[in-house]
Structure 1
Amino acid sequence: MVSCNKMPPNFVIILTDDLDWTLGGANASTLSRTRKYIAEEGKTFTKWFVQTPVCCPSRAEWLTGKLYHNLRYKEDIHPSCMHVNVTDHPEHPFYSRDYFAPYFSRNKTLKYKIGVFGKHLNSRNPSSFMLPGVDEMLINDGGTYLNPTFTYGNGTDESIQKIHFNKCENYTGIPCYSTSIIGNVSLGWIKRQVKEQPRLRPFIALISVKAPHIQDGDGYPMSIPAPWYTNTIVEESIAPRTPNYNYSGFPDHHWLVRSQGPLTKEEGEKIDELYVSRLKTLISVDDLVEELVLKLDTWGVLNNTYVIFTSDNGYRLGQFGMSIDKMHPYENDIRVPMMIRGPGIAKNSTTSLVSTHVNVMPTLMGLATKRYYSQDIVPPTMDGTNLAAKILDHDVDEQDESISTFELSSVLVEYTTLGDVVRFNHLVDTFNHSFLALRIVDADPAHYPFHNMKYVEFRDTRVDWNMTEAPLERELYDLDRDPFEMHNLVTQVSPLFVNALSQKIQKMIQCQGASCRQEHSSGLDGYWSTQMATIPTSQVVVRETMDDSTVPLVANGGPAEAAGEN
């Protein structure tokens, strides 16, 4: 039997759906055990981003290590999964070329066993074939919380079958619950991998729950907690009233923001109701995480297992007057929780290392091969960066030319509209809302006007699908001074600086593979430094009008009261 210290590490990933970071979702009272067993025993990332803030593209980026522009259809004429180029066919490149699993399970030295459980993509999931490189799967498009249906397979295409979990009431008197099913099946699979003798192969388990996503429907759809937690009282009762809560109607933001009417009292109350229902669904996730970690410990494999907890995108609860959902370039949409514990991870540590979901699979490859510094081990189809050395806090010998580690400073965010989307009576997406955003973090203030910034370009992809024409609108934020993105500074900086930001974005949306790693690890050098060489940094900002006392925290004549704030 191979001893644990010689076997590559195991990986267990818990992926939630729509769990926010900036609004405190990851710090909810109902995730206390998750923080105890993962964050306190590992590392929390405060600057972890998604690069497309909506379910299917974000999950596709995670599963392939590819950026959205390399996954999206090149023209808007095909049925798709939120514009991702994928079909329900084993020979489609998404599955036959780009999918992560074969790079781990069919690797000559790694030979991972892989299980995939829960929500996979929103559509175009396999219905008659196994996910490539995967040993067992129980997947769906998110489905329903109660009595859900999944596609199951255990290693051969002949084993594929639909399973409708609707018999629980016959035995327990209550419906089957999605998170519990996913948890039980995934834990059962992990147990079989651990108990198999002789155990020669490490494992990867991707466990993707529906919580705390709403159960889609008309009117005021809510999240649905497990029946046994429906009446549980949680500590929180009112959604966070951030300064940009119900903020709308100002002329310097995108049309979708400035055209919002105030949230009504009923809408505000329903947002609070949804907030509480979301937190209640997380109790079952907390159950799953606790049981998972305790079982891994009992089975003797916890010390050689990385346990990862995160979300596919952030969320909104009334910010900018747009009721609920994600799909926007703002921090509550794109920053997500990320916690990791495992061998070499410092306990109870926090890092401001910048990263995104596109880097997960390249980094797991670095951890699996113990080639923590190398980008050479990143599969050629992937655009992400191996950040294993940074996550493990390994010192880098800058004199060693064999080391090709990167640290990210720029993040490209891409989104193509889903058309007119209405939530809680408010339009939250529409056709002129496709955008490209550039998030630059920890810039050198000696060379940049802002240390921590975001630049956004909005377009209408009905007429500019590839987003190469002049943008319809632009936004620019200094996030150190304006963390809630209430002051658009795009007209208050030098046009040369805006042009440099735009050039950087256009370069990034053309990148593939190694060029993406290079673009994400660099700022605007080469785009504006030569142009600005003769202009003092103090003149980059043309004028300053960021006196918070002159900008109301809510718009339209006091909608916070109208929305039911106490």
Structure 2
Amino acid sequence: ETHVPPGWDEWYGISGNFLSSTLNENGHMVNYDPDQYHTDDVLAGKASDYIERTAGADPPFFATDRPFLMWLGTKAPHQPATPAPRHEDTLEDVELPRPPSFNEKDVRDKPRWVQDNPPLSPDQVAYMDELHRKRLQSMMAVDDMVGDLFDALRESGELDNTYVFFTSDNGFHLGQHRLGAGKWTAYEEDIRVPLVVRGPGVPEGEKLPHMVLNNDLAPTFADLAGTDPPKFVDGRSLAPLLDETPTPEEEWRQRFLVEAVAERDSVPRPPFVNESQVRPLLTGDPLPRDWRLTSAGRADSSEEWGRPWLKALRTEDHLFVEYKTGEHELYDLQKDPYQLDNLYDRAPEGLLKRLNSQLDSLRQCEAQDCRTAEAAE
């Protein structure tokens, strides 16, 4: 718990839940009173304090030739999604969105692990609404955090000299395709995340259609800091997209790889069957031992742990998925953005051959070869 990864000047690691948390503060465990502190408020205070402290140093780090990097990962909106006390009574009338994929009516063309899910019951939907509200409530502390950080940067005089990236490491499904709460699929709900960038020269209010990935962040930060990433890095710098003349979309990434690995007792399962299975998501109590098991993703032996239970190719037009069971999914994302109609069994042979070839290339590549495979026709 007291480990501090190499390379960081200051380190504050969460050990605990939203309330009653313990922080690893540069190798020392510090407890915070749950009656007074919310984890994300503590992190916000640490971040703002760092900016204020170092801006007031002699000389301030802003005046040196070494750009600074702050990585701030919040607890929200992870389960049990406990909001800060000041936000507990907000958003009471908010409901979970019901897109066409929510509680999907006909899943007969889906893989078996999806077909195994019965339609969601009214009680299950009510629990999902509750979890959705709690997740939004917990994110209000993150909204406050962003405001605090911008205030600290503004007061230091460095807001307009700082790039700010706001993103997430994964998406989340909640009721789509009859699935419960999770993030282990190749469906759009799980693989799409927000990415908002503010900084010097970044046009205000622009929205780009380019495919960008989380593995682009490291080479981007290196590029903006004026250094080169290691040769083994797969991603690409986003810097060419951050000015008035971004790289044309046709000259950018055209496809990417999606994988989910099998872990012991940690893969998707059909949705919540009863209160005992959903209530822990709202309270933080231990989950039932088998709550995530499915026939598709379960690692039946130690040899399977860490191996992909699905591999998928995402392009501008298609999502192509191959499961370890031999099942497949193929969706036309232009005509079917909610992924309701699996085309695999009636797709042209030439299309399947091309998608298979592109998927194999991305699964076997590394570094520059991956960037080439993502862009090649």
Indicate the larger mover: 500-509 or 334-343: 500-509
SS in 2 for 1:186: helix
Matched, 1:366 2:256: no
Asked whether the 8 Å contact 1:358–1:383 carries over to 2, the reply is: yes
CA distance in 2: counterparts of 1:344 and 1:288, whole angstroms: 24
- On the 8 A contact 1:249/1:261 being kept in 2, the answer is no
Q: Equivalences for 1:262-301 in 2 at 5 Å?
A: 262-301=119-158
Per the TM alignment, residue 428 of structure 1 is displaced from its structure 2 partner at its CA by 5.8
Contact 1:417 1:429 in 2 (8 A): no
2:272 aligns to what?
Answer: 424
- The answer to whether the 8 A contact 2:107-2:177 is kept is no
Residues 1:163 and 2:30 aligned together: yes
Q: TM (normalized to structure 2)?
A: 0.85
Matches within 5 A, 1:333-412: 333-369=190-226, 377-394=228-245, 407-412=252-257
Measure the CA separation in 1 of the matches of 2:169 and 2:100: 25
Alpha-carbon shift at residue 276 of structure 1 (Å): 0.9
Indicate the residue corresponding to 2:54 in structure 1: 193
Which amino acid in structure 2 is aligned with residue 379 of structure 1?
Answer: P
Q: CA offsets per residue over residues 17-41 of structure 1, 9 Å max, x none? A: xxxxxxxxxxxxxxxxxxxxxxxxx
Aligned counterparts of 1:326 and 1:395: Cα–Cα separation in 2:
31
Aligned counterpart, 1:228: 86
CA separation in 1, counterparts of 2:103 and 2:292? 13
CA distance in 1: counterparts of 2:358 and 2:115, whole angstroms: 27
Structure 1 counterpart of 2:7: 133
Structure 1's unaligned 5+ residue stretches are 1-126, 154-159, 169-173, 216-222, 372-376, 398-404, 442-451, 461-471, 526-566
The 3 A distance-change label for structure 1 pair 428 and 255 is farther
- Shift in CA distance, 206/493, structure 1 to aligned 2, threshold 3 Å: same
Among 251, 259, 270, the residue aligned to 1:414: 259
Give me the whole-angstrom Cα distance separating, in 1, the residues matched to 2:212 and 2:268.
29
SS at match of 1:414: strand
Q: Distance between the aligned counterparts of 1:431 and 1:196, measured in 2?
A: 57
Per-residue Cα deviation, 1:52-81 (whole angstroms, up to 9, x for no partner): xxxxxxxxxxxxxxxxxxxxxxxxxxxxxx
CA distance in 1 between partners of 2:359 and 2:172 (Å): 24
Give me the identity figure in percent. 30
Q: Which residue of 2 aligns with 1:50?
A: none
Q: C-alpha displacement at 1:284, in angstroms?
A: 0.6
Distance 1:135 1:321, change over 3 A: same
Which of 307, 319, 330 is equivalent to 1:454? 319
Task: State the Cα distance separating 1:496 from its structure 2 match.
Answer: 3.0
Whichever residue aligns with residue 272 of structure 2, its letter is F
2:168 partner letter = S
SS of 2:207's equivalent? strand
Contact in 1 for aligned 2:67/2:225 (Cα 8 Å): no
* Inter-partner Cα distance in structure 2 for 1:202 and 1:192: 16
Deviation at 1:421, TM superposition (A): 4.8
Tell whether the 8 Å contact from 1:146 to 1:177 is kept in structure 2 after alignment. Answer: yes
Secondary structure, counterpart of 1:350 in structure 2: coil
Correspondences of 1:44-123 after superposition (within 5 Å): none
Q: Deviations over 1:317-337 (max 9, x none)?
A: 210111212111100110011
TM-score (norm: length of structure 1): 0.58
Give the letter aligned to residue 205 of structure 1: M
| Preserved contact between residue 313 and residue 326 of structure 1 (Cα < 8 Å) | yes
* SS of equivalent residue, structure 1 residue 456: strand
1:477-492 map, 5 Å: 477-492=331-346
Q: What residue is the counterpart of 1:85 in the other structure?
A: none
- Return the alpha-carbon distance in structure 1 between the equivalents of residues 221 and 258 of structure 2: 22
TM-aligned CA deviation for residue 455 of structure 1? 0.5
In structure 1, the partner of 2:314 is 439
- Quote how far apart the aligned CAs of 1:511 are: 1.1
Higher RCO (CA-CA < 8 Å; seq separation 6+): 1
1:483-521 deviations in Å (ceiling 9; x for gaps): 100001112222232122112212211111111111122
Instruction: Compute the displacement of 1:395 (Å).
Output: 6.0
Paired residue secondary structure (1:432) = coil
- Does 1:181 pair with 2:38? no
Within 5 Å, which residues of 2 pair with 1:489-504? 489-504=343-358
- Residue 182 of structure 1 aligns to a residue whose secondary structure is helix
Matched residue SS, 1:204: coil
Q: Does the 8 Å CA contact 1:387/1:406 hold for their aligned counterparts?
A: no
- Per mean C-alpha deviation after superposition, the further-off stretch among 422-431 and 502-511 is 422-431
In 2, the alpha carbon distance for the partners of 1:128 and 1:225 equals: 27
Corresponding residue of 1:147: 20
- Three-state SS of the structure 1 residue aligned to 2:296 is helix
Match of 1:37 in 2: none
| Residue of 228, 236, 244 corresponding to 2:101 | 244
Corresponding pairs, count? 342
2:44 counterpart letter in structure 1: G
CA separation in 2, counterparts of 1:492 and 1:366?
45
Amino acid of the residue matched to residue 260 of structure 2?
Y
The residue number in structure 2 matching 1:309 is: 166
2: CA distance, partners of 1:233 / 1:260: 30
SS at match of 1:332: helix
* TM superposition shift of 1:130: 2.5
